[in-house]
């Protein structure tokens, strides 16, 4: 075992972001690593904590607090049992310290900013597999992050059935 690392995973609760989390937990996380689940809320969302933390992002939230329903409501997050199960496994079986951080704004910019803010050693994101036209119109978060992040980025492609 080498130096403990800080690994970030972009999470929007889509099938591809859950796949990225599962991939990171199964293939990347080692005992002693810190796994940071990174959420980026839309800039127009209006949840109670946004006013406090819009500029800097939320404080790091430990897994125990992250799983509470009230926490999810305060930040406008989905309380997803599948995500919690993956995080529990990474924590208990994998020996990782699991925390979450919430940002508000453009996911492309906020994920790149999170790399420096959290001093990530690696970032894992899912890819929705947009076609060329949608990618031009909507922009590809994963492509932007791969191009602009200051750490290694792993893009986990979704399966055909996961493209929702």
Q: What residue spans define the domains of the chain?
A: 6-159
pLDDT single digits (tens) 81-120: 999 999 999 999 889 999 999 999 899 999 999 999 999 9
Taking 70 as the threshold, does the pLDDT of residue 137 lie above it? no
> So what's the pLDDT on residue 129?
58
Taking 60 as the threshold, does the pLDDT of residue 45 lie above it? yes
Taking 50 as the threshold, does the pLDDT of residue 63 lie above it? yes
Cα dihedral sign for 50, 100, 149, 131? negative
pTM of the model: 0.86
Using alpha carbons, select from 145, 146, 154 the residue that is nearest to residue 124. 154
> So what's the pLDDT on residue 11?
93
Q: Give the Cα-Cα-Cα angle 20, 21, 25 (nearest 5 degrees).
A: 115
CA dist 96 → 19, 22, 115 (Å): 18, 14, 18
> So what's the pLDDT on residue 47?
64
**Domain 6-159: CATH architecture, name and number where available:** 3-Layer(aba) Sandwich (3.40)
pLDDT single digits (tens) 6-33: 999 999 998 999 999 999 999 999 999 9
- How far is 42 from 87, CA to CA, in rounded Å? 24
């Amino acid at each position: 075992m080498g130096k403990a690392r800080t690994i970030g995973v972009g999470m929007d609760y889509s099938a591809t972001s859950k796949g990225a989390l599962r991939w990171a937990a199964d293939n990347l996380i080692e005992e002693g690593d810190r796994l940071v689940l990174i959420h980026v809320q839309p800039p127009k969302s209006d949840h109670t904590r946004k006013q406090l933390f819009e500029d800097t992002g939320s404080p790091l939230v430990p897994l125990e607090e992250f799983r509470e329903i009230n926490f999810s409501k305060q930040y406008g997050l989905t309380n997803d049992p599948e995500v919690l199960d993956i995080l529990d496994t990474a924590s208990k079986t994998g020996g990782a310290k699991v925390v979450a951080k919430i940002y508000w704004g453009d996911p492309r910019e906020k994920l790149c900013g999170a790399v420096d803010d959290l001093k990530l050693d690696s970032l894992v994101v899912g890819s929705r597999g947009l076609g060329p036209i949608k990618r031009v119109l909507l922009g590809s978060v994963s492509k932007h992050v791969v191009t602009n992040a200051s750490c290694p980025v792993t893009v986990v492609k979704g399966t055909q059935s996961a493209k929702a």
